[in-house]
Chain A
Amino acid sequence: MKLRFFTAGAAALVLVALAGAQQGSAPAKVKRTADGHPDLSGLWAYAVDLPAGGIKREVNGKVIVKQADLSNRRAPKGEVKGALPFTAAPAYKPEFQAKVKDLFDHESKTDPVFYCGRPGVPRIGPPRKIVQLPNEVIFFYEDMSGDTYRVIPTDGRPHREDANPGAYGDSIARWDGDTLVVDVTNFDDVTWFGEGGYFHSDAMHVTERLWLDNGNLVWQATVEDPKVLAAPWTVTPRVVKPTNEPLEESARCVEDDGHRLLNNDHHGQR
């Protein structure tokens, strides 16, 4: 009897060890839903630009320094498997180039996001939480302009024809192999699609691609706007780690520095 317990225990230990070795050496196996697609569901790390640096907390002589993990917002190091070729900046038609430069030069006065406005798609970036259901996926976001969500059909239906235009547009999605391709139209022309003064027209069309790579979520978007862009623009892919950090309501946004700005200095946020 004792021997049998011992044997069973040893076998279990070997299995655990093998499982550990597998995780350590090979890429994580893609988790799939019942219909065979990769399962993108889950919580993904907060991927909004935050200040570098950290906080030093000293209590009773004990010092703890903690720094925010900014890796989810930074450009990935090295090649990202499955990513489309991308460029740092979009190409505007010649007649709009001066306008883009002027908007960017005065970003702290002209950027809607600076004044708590919605970033819209694609500037909002990858979602913080994904719920993947058989006929739709739901993206949840944390954003200081308001914690928005997008319910995106994947059942083959066309875009809505009765929806009002907005910052996040109207989305439908399909699977291209193991990549979820989200097609977004019906935008208003209020948002920027990037921080560099990247205004757009109501003809903007965005294609987002999401896939899993070794347990991380990869997100990449392509922006087309035949009215203002000379060519489609594909953004730098973003690689976001899974997290257990729950979604939390973003604090209300009240911009109070606009009237105090004495120059045009600014820098990254979304």
Chain B
Amino acid sequence: MKYRIFAALVVLMAAGSLSAHHSTTAVFDMGKKVQVTGTLNRVEWINPHISIYVDAKGEHGVDAWHFEGSPPAWFRRVGVNKSDIAKAQGQMITVDGVRAKDGSLYAYLQKITFADGSTLETVPAGQIPEK
């Protein structure tokens, strides 16, 4: 059991950065923080949400986690390409997010920590200084 589920402290962190398409609250429980450490299985750079698949050790074998994120057009405009994430394919990464309300191994991407300690993290608009 490499992932842990936290309670609600990060609701405000998530709000604002996760909009697009459907409201994240329609699928995800913003209070159910999840952190998964496992092997980056694959990255799909698809619309309307990019997908990251992480295989983690579970109680009964491998837990295949699926994280979705903002659309590719958004990642492109905040300077992140597929290769920035896919470069870690086959390596251990840690992914933070909020878990789907249906209880499946499905979550909304908030932060990736790579094996070398570098990170990519979504930041709500209110926490970015105006230019």
- Residues of A at the B interface (CB closer than 8 Å) are 46, 48-60, 64-69, 108, 114, 116, 142, 144, 248, 250-257, 260-269
Contacts and interface: CB of A to CB of B under 8 A. Distances in A.
21 contacts: A50-B74, A52-B17, A53-B122, A55-B80, A57-B121, A60-B118, A67-B78, A68-B77, A144-B48, A144-B71, A250-B47, A252-B47, A253-B46, A254-B47, A256-B68, A257-B22, A262-B102, A263-B25, A264-B26, A266-B23, A269-B20
B48 A253 contact: yes
Nearest to B14: A53
Contacts, number: 143
Task: Give the interface SS of chain A, mostly helix, strand, loop or mixed.
Answer: loop
Contact of B128 (A53, A254, A268): A53
A56 B118 contact: no
A255 B68 CA distance: 11
Contacts of A53: 16-18, 122-125, 127-128
B88 interface: no
B49 to A, nearest CB: 7
Interface string B92-114: 00000000111010100000000
Give the residue among B22, B78, B127 with the most A Cβ atoms within 10 A.
B22
Looking at chain B, what size class is its interface with the partner chain?
Answer: 35 or more
B45 interface: yes
B91 interface: no
Contacts of A52: 16-17, 19, 124-125
Contacts of B48: 116, 144, 253, 255, 269
Give the residue among B23, B74, B123 with the most A Cβ atoms within 10 A.
B74
Contacts of A54: 17, 78, 122-123, 125, 128
Give the residue among A251, A264, A267 with the most B Cβ atoms within 10 A.
A251
A262 B78 contact: no
B52 to A, nearest CB: 13
B78 A55 contact: yes
Given A46-B73, A59-B118, A262 B123 contact: no
Closest A-B pairs by Cβ, 5 of them = A265-B23, A53-B17, A52-B125, A144-B47, A253-B47
Given A57-B120, A58-B119, A257-B68, A262 B73 contact: no
